[in-house]
A and B are shown apart, each in its own frame.
Chain A
């Protein structure tokens, strides 16, 4: 009898310990996930992490402003858990497709400088932020982890294309 109750007690304590350790490690992992280098532990993410660390692409400019992975990639806890499982099982998309973020999300941070941006790009013949196309999605031109492309260049060839920095790809059309 006593052996049995001892064994029950042991099982109970073990179970509690598993739950506590599990919860604690989950908390640690979740906290760790806020650090971009954590994301880079997954090898398919590594190139994206490296483009954030430095280089010509727009994501590196965001890094300079202390914007981290999760500031744009708003993952919920269930999503993170799912990612963890996918990481362990290897069940993820290969190769990764380009992700689009909404204009609303970009403006969550950029609403303050939006008017300045429109004013700054009021070129003599055109304004890409105030054109005949109306309000279009930011990501159609602005890319983070790859070269940005001017959407207008499908039909136009404006002089200001020449003045764009190295984060832009200027080719014939898109």
Chain B
């Protein structure tokens, strides 16, 4: 280790950068003129500069590259993939071959209806329709072009039918990694540790490039050196939501304090969204921030319990530990469930018997939860009550009542969907997990049209600026249904890449 050597290296880098800038001014179409008349010295260029390397950014990169455009992908974190590479790998698609093989009847119309209903009809109709209509095409693209293997179709609360196609290992990495490999084959690597800080426009307001901090280190906000990258055709914003941006999320929903954990990766902050707003982009529904009602306070991040809870809705009841009674439709959407838990004010208990738990929960998640203690095993229901301090008699009566509901196949108390193969809970061992919501998804974001162009405050597209994925709003309205984020990102990421590639280069 040598201080002076490092200085030397930095000196060389700076000299090289200056050299590039000088060369750039000579060969890369000279200085650009920013909107304020400032002179920009470009040191790098591409046809399309993509900010973010999750599903949407990578789908855009693949499509733009296929269309012949030269692409750069900018990622501020040290690893690519954002939330997508840590996501649960469930992709919603309506009317797929896999659904047909499993005897599930579905249609894009039904998916659209479910998304609108959950979204309280705040969804932008043409955007949500596009996602539902192209869901199967997007799934097939991921299967056939990207090469991801899907193994089963799962049910998520708020959908009418099982619709989410589960990737092989139950991780979004199953989709992201082959996308990264495919881009690598085409000579494109995600440029990590580079943070976009500003969009640059010319005098007519066209987006012509970005300012990034090169060699930025997440968490060290004074790190990195400014570099200007020219985007000859377009910039595509695919930088995700702001669930981990405490200041920003509390402005839009003051209830989302630091008392609530988040399932997101640490870099899920809102500066790129705000950079677009600084140049006049329109935003929509930023205060609709989703909490994951299936999360556990007994483990970090996303964890294993969501796979336990979400597979068991419609098979096992959720209990308010204060009363020993059920309190919500377990198959309801994320919003109604999270709100109900927060109203109770303490974690609730999801309890299942051996039959349902073994049948429904994927073994790796079950085992993982048991090992980290977020899922617990009990021989009797009495032990469950004792452990969670639930009043015993009302609890046992409620389990009896649940069993009769299951036998009837209909829940007149809360309207929970009871699955045909659900059985009454009679014999142990029993398994239980505590549930407490975590900040999960930002439904709101930038307003985009069906070509994924970002719309400004005068309702016009901002020339040269596109956006896709969680950074946008409108697709999901008030509440996003499980599995619909992947579909949104793939459908709109692909469109953004295709449309941006069609742009005429400004230089």
Q: What 1/0 flags go to A75-115 for Cβ under 8 Å of B?
A: 10011101111110001111011010000000000000000
Which of B2, B301, B371 makes the CB contact (< 8 A) with A45?
B2
Q: Is B124 positioned at the interface, with any CB of A under 8 Å from its CB? A: no
- Chain B residues with CB under 8 Å of A69's CB are 1-2
Minimum CB distance partner of A154 in chain B: B266
Q: How far is it, in angstroms, between the C-alpha of A85 and the C-alpha of B4 when the chains are bound?
A: 8
Chain A interface residue count, Cβ-Cβ cutoff 8 angstroms:
41
Using A82-B11, A133-B79, A156-B300 as known contacts, say yes or no to A87 and B4 having CB atoms under 8 A apart.
yes
In the complex, are the beta carbons of A93 and B81 less than 8 A apart? no
Q: How far is it, in angstroms, between the C-alpha of A94 and the C-alpha of B266 when the chains are bound?
A: 29
- Chain B residues with CB under 8 Å of A132's CB are 85-86, 169, 171-174, 177
In the complex, are the beta carbons of A145 and B1 less than 8 A apart? yes
Q: Is A140 positioned at the interface, with any CB of B under 8 Å from its CB? A: yes
- Chain B residues with CB under 8 Å of A79's CB are 5, 8-9, 12
Q: Is B100 positioned at the interface, with any CB of A under 8 Å from its CB? A: no
Using A140-B78, A157-B299 as known contacts, say yes or no to A86 and B4 having CB atoms under 8 A apart.
yes
In the complex, are the beta carbons of A93 and B7 less than 8 A apart? yes
Could you tell me the distance in whole angstroms from the C-beta of B297 to the nearest C-beta in chain A?
13
Q: How far is it, in angstroms, between the C-alpha of A3 and the C-alpha of B499 when the chains are bound?
A: 84
Q: How far is it, in angstroms, between the C-alpha of A155 and the C-alpha of B173 when the chains are bound?
A: 15
In the complex, are the beta carbons of B85 and A133 less than 8 A apart? yes
- Chain A residues with CB under 8 Å of B266's CB are 154, 173
Could you tell me the distance in whole angstroms from the C-beta of A145 to the nearest C-beta in chain B?
6
- Chain B residues with CB under 8 Å of A42's CB are 2-4
- Chain B residues with CB under 8 Å of A96's CB are 1, 3, 6
Q: Is B394 positioned at the interface, with any CB of A under 8 Å from its CB? A: no
Could you tell me the distance in whole angstroms from the C-beta of A38 to the nearest C-beta in chain B?
11
In the complex, are the beta carbons of B8 and A125 less than 8 A apart? no
In the complex, are the beta carbons of B368 and A137 less than 8 A apart? no
Q: Is B322 positioned at the interface, with any CB of A under 8 Å from its CB? A: no
Q: Is B265 positioned at the interface, with any CB of A under 8 Å from its CB? A: yes
Q: Is the interface of A mostly helix, strand, loop or mixed?
A: loop
Q: Is B180 positioned at the interface, with any CB of A under 8 Å from its CB? A: yes
Most buried by B among A83, A92, A124, A132: A132
- Chain B residues with CB under 8 Å of A159's CB are 371
Which of A92, A133, A154, A157 makes the CB contact (< 8 A) with B173?
A133
- Chain B residues with CB under 8 Å of A92's CB are 3-4, 6-7
Which of B3, B79, B176 makes the CB contact (< 8 A) with A140?
B79
Could you tell me the distance in whole angstroms from the C-beta of A141 to the nearest C-beta in chain B?
11
Could you tell me the distance in whole angstroms from the C-beta of B246 to the nearest C-beta in chain A?
15
- Chain B residues with CB under 8 Å of A26's CB are none
Could you tell me the distance in whole angstroms from the C-beta of B305 to the nearest C-beta in chain A?
13
Could you tell me the distance in whole angstroms from the C-beta of A142 to the nearest C-beta in chain B?
13
Minimum CB distance partner of B178 in chain A: A134
- Chain A residues with CB under 8 Å of B1's CB are 39, 45, 48, 69, 73, 96, 99, 145
Q: Is A44 positioned at the interface, with any CB of B under 8 Å from its CB? A: yes
Q: How far is it, in angstroms, between the C-alpha of A78 and the C-alpha of B79 when the chains are bound?
A: 32
Q: Is A136 positioned at the interface, with any CB of B under 8 Å from its CB? A: yes
Using A157-B372, A159-B371 as known contacts, say yes or no to A82 and B171 having CB atoms under 8 A apart.
no
Q: Is B257 positioned at the interface, with any CB of A under 8 Å from its CB? A: no
Minimum CB distance partner of A74 in chain B: B5
A-B contact pairs, 18 of them (CB 8 A): A42-B3, A75-B2, A75-B8, A80-B5, A83-B5, A86-B3, A93-B3, A96-B3, A124-B367, A125-B368, A132-B173, A136-B79, A154-B265, A154-B301, A155-B265, A155-B300, A155-B301, A156-B301
* CB-CB nearest 7 A-B residue pairs: A132-B173, A86-B4, A155-B301, A83-B4, A82-B8, A48-B1, A92-B3
**Apart from the given pairs A82-B8, A125-B367, 14 other A-B contacts in the complex at a CB distance below 8 Å:** A75-B2, A79-B5, A83-B8, A86-B3, A86-B4, A92-B6, A93-B10, A96-B1, A125-B368, A132-B169, A132-B174, A140-B78, A154-B265, A159-B371
